[in-house]
Homo-oligomer: A and B are copies of this chain.
């Protein structure tokens, strides 16, 4: 049975979302990531494995470390799915248009955080 782990499945788990958050700005190795959670390294390792499987994380072997880097563009699938309904909860589509405009501006004015 093909393991049907897709992106939606991947981000369904809060721990995995937290992991993504952790490496969103800069890559970290497995142990560093694991150190931030209460569960064992093995558990985190498994979560990472799942994230790798669905393309959300890219692992780069670096000596004895495995650098985990986020491939956030993989989230676009979810983004697209959700956005198709945006007009249903934002009274007007024009709002989305403004939203995109706003995002474009943010893109130019390098992010802070």
Contacts and interface: CB of A to CB of B under 8 A. Distances in A.
Interface of A: 6, 8-9, 11-14, 17, 20, 24, 70, 72-73, 75-76, 78-90, 92-93, 96-97, 99-100, 103-104, 106-107, 111
A6 to B, nearest CB: 8
16 contacts: A8-B8, A11-B81, A17-B81, A20-B85, A70-B85, A75-B82, A75-B85, A78-B78, A78-B82, A79-B79, A79-B86, A83-B103, A87-B103, A87-B106, A96-B100, A97-B104
Copies of this protein in the complex: 2
Which 8 pairs from chain A and chain B are nearest by CB?
A73-B89, A12-B12, A72-B88, A72-B85, A8-B12, A79-B82, A72-B89, A9-B12
A49 B106 CA distance: 39
A87 B107 contact: yes
